[in-house]
Amino acid sequence: MNDPVIARENSRWIRDLSAGGPAKEAACTELYALLLRVARSETRRRAPTLRVAGPELEDIAHQAAADALMAVTERLDRFRGEARFTTWATKFVIFDVATKMNRHHWHRHEVPYEEEDWSKIASRFDLGPEDETQVREFAAAVSAAVEESLSDRQRMVFVATVLNGMPTDVLAERLGSTHNALYKVLFDARKKLRAALVAGGYLADVSEVRSA
C-alpha cells in the first residue's frame, strides 16, 4: 500500500485487534459498528429478491456482522495490506449476509426437490442459445440425460442444487448428509451429464478442443 495514511490506518487496525484488553475491545467495537452498517445495507439490497423483511433483516444483519468480526480477527495474518483493512474486512460480512439470506430464504420457502423447469438449464451450463428453439432442444436433451444417466440420488441433488439453486449445505441439512458428500454426488452427476450431452452433440468435447 503506497498511501502512507492508509498504511498507518491498516497498521492501527492490525495492532489493536491483535492486542489484548481495552485496545482490542475498542477496536472490535469500532469494527463491529462498521460491519453492521455494511450488513444492514446489504440485507436491504437483497431483501426484495429473497422476500425477507422486517425484524428478520435486522437479525440477519447482526448475526452476519458478529460472524464476520470473528472471521476477521481469526484471519489477521492473512491481511496483506494491499487495500484498506476495512475494505478487506467488509468482504467477509458481504459474503456472510449472502449466505445467511440465501439459507433463510430456502428454509422459509419450500421448493420440492423434484420441481423441474428445464428451460432454466442453459444458463446453468454457461450456454447462451441464440433462440428459443435451441433452448428447448438443449433443455429436452438435459432432461433426457438426467432420466437416463443419473441415479435417483444424483438426479435429486442435481435438480435441487443446479436447476433450482438450492444451497448445498441447506440440502445436506434436510437430507441428513454432509456438504462434501453431496458435492461428490453432484460432481459425478455433472460428469455423467456432460458425457451424455457431448455424445449427443449438444456440448463440445473439451478433450478434442484441447488436442486440436
| Longest Cα separation, the chain | 66
Reported as a pLDDT band with limits 50, 70 and 90, residue 210 is: very low
Contact 143, 200 (CB under 8 A): no
Mean per-residue pLDDT over the chain, rounded: 80
Of 52 and 78, the one with more pLDDT: 78
Contact 113, 160 (CB under 8 A): yes
Reported as a pLDDT band with limits 50, 70 and 90, residue 138 is: confident
Q: Tell me the average pLDDT across 144-157.
A: 87
For a pLDDT cut of 70, what percent of the chain falls above it?
77
pLDDT 10s digits, 99-124: 787 776 665 555 554 555 565 565 55
Contact 72, 92 (CB under 8 A): yes
Question: CA 171 → CA 121, 127, 193, distances in Å?
Answer: 19, 26, 21
Domains and CATH numbers, the chain: 4-108 (1.10.1740), 118-211 (1.10.10.10)
pTM equals: 0.57
How is residue 159 written as a grid cell?
435438480
Handedness of CA 144, 149, 153, 154 (dihedral sign): negative
